[in-house]
């Protein structure tokens, strides 16, 4: 039977989204002879039918190496909690019925939602309202449960490791402490794995609240041993033991989640106060989300995209494609979004870092 399926990309963009879109469109058309509708700007696109456009083989030609998403995205716009103006004030309203109606108007047999924790939770709520949803896990943060990796993470790691290589040469020349602030929200994966790959001396992650006095002593000891520079990687969600996270912008009625940022400067100030060393901060920011996906992310995105189509063919709804070991399989979206996947402070990767002499903030 010829099906009509929709695909949207939600939440922060990341490299590999276009590989997923291409994988979905190619396998839906070539293998199954189905039609695909691309929905622009995440779930917002389902509130405006003009944002729902047919995708053809032509539409996805040449997009595999391109970063971003040809469909556009937003990390706002939850239809179950949508900001609307009422009597001059912004209030939250559940307008999800409009989304369901529009899905019916479009005649969609199924919807593929490509997103991180936030977007997949919305997909799950739509599934509860009867929409036949399939999820694809996306985020540079790699913090989604039930999948070994999300696509986008590997590219972000490459960018962060490259930045660390570059910071090393200038840190060494000037005998400075160089702090690199990386993304990752409440998970320390990017900081931990790029820090190991980039030869960092100190890595600060949200899962291990840090002790500044100990960080300063370790930098001092390094200097005493003749290494007159140090490289610190700070995850944006890292925080001092007994203290708070550094927030660049608090959550409000439009910005549903707080925006983290500023931990690099915070740590720099403290180190400068206790050590007689020059300290500089680099905030890597959205460079981690941009650019062409790595080979790994192109492959993973393509595999997730074709798997999502196969899941629709098999009637596997309310589930998310995932990677377990080297195999693509699926889990319920409920399981995948129950908790965040965080670094285990006593796990093998942290132990590797500490065995290498990297100071983990404790
Ligand atoms: O979830 C991806 C991510 O890049 C996080 O690492 C970061 O905290 C956040 O999104 C930044 O969001 P924005 O694009 O709104 O600044």
284: pLDDT strictly greater than 80: yes
Distance set, CA 219 to CA 109, 212, 240, 277 (Å):
59, 11, 17, 10
Tell me what pLDDT residue 251 has: 84
Same domain, 89 and 216: no
Q: Which two tokens stand for residue 281?
A: 């901060």
Same domain, 87 and 185: no
Same domain, 123 and 188: no
Same domain, 71 and 109: yes
Tell me what pLDDT residue 253 has: 64
Nearest to 187 by CA among 345, 359, 15: 345
The CATH number for 170's domain is 3.40.50.460
Residue among 15, 153, 185, 260 whose CB has most ligand 1 atoms within 8 A, to mutate? 185
75 or 172: which carries more pLDDT confidence? Answer: 172
In a domain, 302, yes or no: yes
Q: Which atom of ligand 1 is nearest to the CA of 288?
A: 4
Nearest to 345 by CA among 200, 211, 208: 208
Same domain, 189 and 273: yes
User: How many domains, in total, are found in the chain?
Assistant: 2
Same domain, 23 and 102: yes
Measured from CB, residues less than 6 Å from any atom of ligand 1 are 12, 75, 116, 139-141, 183-185, 236, 259-260, 289
Tell me what pLDDT residue 73 has: 97
Tell me what pLDDT residue 264 has: 98
pTM (predicted TM-score):
0.97
Q: How far is the CA of 235 from the centre of ligand 1 (A)?
A: 12
Residue among 69, 121, 153, 183 whose CB has most ligand 1 atoms within 8 A, to mutate? 183
In a domain, 342, yes or no: no
Q: How far is the CA of 53 from the centre of ligand 1 (A)?
A: 27
The CATH number for 119's domain is 3.40.50.450
The whole domain housing 284 covers 153-289
255: pLDDT strictly greater than 70: no
Say which residues have a Cβ less than 8 Å from residue 259's Cβ, sequence separation at least 6: 247, 248, 249
Q: How far is the CA of 141 from the centre of ligand 1 (A)?
A: 9
- Report which protein residue has its CA nearest ligand 1's atom 14: 12
Residue among 42, 77, 119, 141 whose CB has most ligand 1 atoms within 8 A, to mutate? 141
pLDDT tens string 156-214? 999 999 999 999 999 999 999 999 999 999 999 999 999 999 999 999 999 999 999 99
Same domain, 89 and 172: no
22: pLDDT strictly greater than 90: yes
Same domain, 102 and 236: no
Same domain, 67 and 205: no
344: pLDDT strictly greater than 70: yes
In a domain, 297, yes or no: yes
Q: How far is the CA of 275 from the centre of ligand 1 (A)?
A: 32
Residue among 9, 10, 11, 12 whose CB has most ligand 1 atoms within 8 A, to mutate? 12
pLDDT tens string 85-117? 889 988 899 999 999 999 999 999 999 999 999
Show the beta-strand stretches assigned E in the chain.
4-9, 35-39, 52-55, 82-86, 89-93, 110-115, 133-137, 177-182, 202-204, 230-235, 247-249, 259-260, 279-283, 319-324, 327-332
In a domain, 270, yes or no: yes
Tell me what pLDDT residue 254 has: 62
267: pLDDT strictly greater than 70: yes
- Report which protein residue has its CA nearest ligand 1's atom 13: 12
| DSSP character at residue 287 | G
Same domain, 171 and 96: no
d(CA 340, CA 185): 10
d(CA 333, CA 85): 32
Q: How far is the CA of 40 from the centre of ligand 1 (A)?
A: 19
pLDDT average, residue stretch 59-76: 96
Q: How far is the CA of 162 from the centre of ligand 1 (A)?
A: 20
pLDDT average, residue stretch 292-301: 98
Q: Which two tokens stand for residue 352?
A: 């590797």
Tell me what pLDDT residue 75 has: 87
Same domain, 86 and 206: no
77: pLDDT strictly greater than 90: no
Average pLDDT, whole number, for the chain?
Answer: 96
In a domain, 341, yes or no: no
Tell me what pLDDT residue 76 has: 84
Does residue 126 sit in helix, strand or coil?
helix
- Report which protein residue has its CA nearest ligand 1's atom 10: 12
Q: Which atom of ligand 1 is nearest to the CA of 185?
A: 8
In a domain, 344, yes or no: no
Active-site residues: which are they?
141
d(CA 301, CA 315): 21
pLDDT tens string 123-142? 999 999 999 999 999 999 99
- Give the least confident one: 56-70, 80-94, 189-203, 233-247: 80-94
pLDDT average, residue stretch 222-245: 96
- Report which protein residue has its CA nearest ligand 1's atom 16: 259
Same domain, 160 and 136: no
Q: Which atom of ligand 1 is nearest to the CA of 261?
A: 8
321: pLDDT strictly greater than 70: yes
In a domain, 239, yes or no: yes
Q: Which two tokens stand for residue 11?
A: 């939440």
Q: How far is the CA of 349 from the centre of ligand 1 (A)?
A: 24
Residue where one domain finishes, among candidates 257, 274, 289: 289
In a domain, 355, yes or no: no
- Report which protein residue has its CA nearest ligand 1's atom 8: 185
């Amino acid at each position: 039977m010829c099906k009509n399926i929709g695909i949207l990309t939600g939440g922060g963009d990341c490299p590999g989204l276009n590989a997923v879109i291409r994988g979905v469109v190619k396998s839906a058309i070539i293998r199954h002879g189905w039609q695909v509708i691309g929905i622009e700007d995440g779930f917002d696109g389902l509130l405006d039918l003009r944002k729902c456009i047919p995708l053809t083989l032509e539409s996805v030609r040449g997009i595999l190496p391109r970063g971003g998403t040809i469909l556009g995205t937003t990390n706002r716009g939850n239809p179950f909690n949508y900001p609307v103006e009422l009597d001059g004030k912004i209030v939250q309203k559940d307008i999800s019925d409009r989304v369901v109606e529009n899905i019916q108007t479009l005649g969609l047999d199924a919807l593929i939602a490509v997103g991180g924790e936030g977007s997949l939770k919305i997909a799950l709520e739509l599934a509860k309202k009867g929409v036949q949803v399939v999820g694809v896990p996306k985020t540079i943060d790699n913090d989604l449960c039930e999948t070994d990796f999300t696509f986008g993470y590997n590219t972000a790691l490459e960018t962060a490791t490259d930045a660390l290589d570059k910071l090393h040469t200038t840190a060494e020349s000037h005998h400075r402490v160089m702090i690199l602030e990386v993304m990752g929200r409440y998970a320390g994966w990017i900081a931990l794995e790029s820090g190991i790959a980039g030869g960092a001396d100190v890595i600060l992650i949200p899962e291990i609240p840090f002790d500044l006095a100990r960080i300063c002593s370790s930098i001092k000891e390094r200097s005493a041993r003749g290494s007159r520079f140090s490289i610190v990687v700070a995850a944006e969600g890292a925080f001092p033991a007994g203290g708070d996270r550094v927030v660049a912008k608090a959550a409000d009625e439009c910005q549903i989640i707080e925006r983290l940022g500023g931990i690099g400067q915070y740590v720099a100030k403290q180190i400068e106060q206790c050590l007689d060393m020059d300290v500089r901060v680099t905030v890597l920011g959205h460079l981690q989300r941009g650019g062409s996906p790595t080979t790994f992310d192109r492959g993973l995105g393509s595999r997730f995209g074709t798997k999502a189509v196969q899941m629709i063919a098999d009637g596997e709804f309310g589930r998310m494609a995932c990677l377990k070991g080297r195999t693509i399989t699926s889990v319920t979206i409920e399981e995948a979004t129950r908790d965040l996947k965080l670094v285990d402070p006593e796990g093998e990767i942290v132990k590797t870092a500490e065995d290498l002499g990297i100071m983990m903030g404790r």
